[in-house]
Structure 1
Amino acid sequence: MLRPVEPGPAIVACNTCRHSATMREDAEGMRGGARLAEALRTVQASDPRYAAVAVQDMPCLFACQDHCTVHLRAPGKVGYVMGRFTPDADAARAILDYAIAYAASEHGRVAFREWPEGVKGHFITRTPPEGFVVE
């Protein structure tokens, strides 16, 4: 049931997410989450700045009220679930830009002024790291 991955900062994309609030798949029959994971990997490969953050995917993050969701996580840092993205390169770039700032932060908190415009309004939850709660 669980597949091991390397520890460290990662974006985990839900590969079974709907394409949008009204569409399950796109015209080619591909789920939105799979399309977003593909866009994240393509954008990541285009810029060496993004190499420090892994792009991983898994079925269903259980955020089904939203679509195209990702979980941003790193050891010892607050994690975030974000969603309602369009599964394209612009969204992927915004997510990766935020992930770079997140990875560089001490506890996972990125100052709002550093948030890429493309992630604002997309946060669903934040989760404390194991053994901690947020003050």
Structure 2
Amino acid sequence: MLTAVEDGPAIVACNTCRHSGDAREDEAGQRGGQRMVEALRHAQASDPRYTGIAVQEMPCLFACTEFCTVHLRAPDKVGYVLGRFVPGEEAATALLDYAVHYAASEHGRVPFKDWPQGVKGHFITRTPPPGFVAQ
């Protein structure tokens, strides 16, 4: 049931997420989550700044009402679940830009001034790393 992945900064995208709040798939029949995974991988491959951020995927993050969700995580850092994205290049670039700041942060907190516009309003939850709670 679990698949081992590298333990480092990562964006884990739900590859089965709905395309939008009212559509499961886009006009081509593709789920929004799969489109988001493809957009993240394409953006990652196009910019060396994103090399240290893994793009991982799994079915269902159980945030179905939020559609196009991702989990941002790294060892010993607060994690975040973000959603309500329109899957594509703009969202993927914003997520990866935020992830670069996140990976460089001490505990996972990125100053608001460093947040790309494309992630503002998309945070759903934050999760403490094992053995810690956040302040």
TM value normalised by structure 2:
0.99
Matched residue type, 2:71: H
1:35 aligns with 2:35: yes
* Structure 1 residue 103: Cα displacement: 0.2
Q: How do 1:33-112 residues align onto structure 2 when only pairs under 5 Å count?
A: 33-112=33-112
Give the 3-state SS of the residue equivalent to 2:84 in structure 1. Answer: coil
Measured after TM superposition, the shift of residue 96 of structure 1 is 0.2
- Tell me by how many angstroms 1:87 deviates: 0.3
- 1:40-94 alpha-carbon deviations (Å, 9 max, x no partner): 0000000000000000000000001101000000000000000000001000000
- Deviation of 1:27 (Å): 1.4
- How far did 1:23 drift? 0.6
Deviating runs (4+, > 3 A) in structure 1?
none
CA offsets 1:9-65 (integer angstroms, 9 cap, x no match): 000000000000011001111100000000000000000000000000000000011
Counting aligned pairs with the same residue, the percent is 72
Q: CA deviation at 1:125?
A: 0.0
Give the secondary structure class of the aligned counterpart of 2:124: strand
The two structures have a TM-score, normalised by structure 1, of: 0.99
What amino acid maps onto 1:106 in structure 2?
E
Cα RMSD (Å) of the superposition? Answer: 0.4
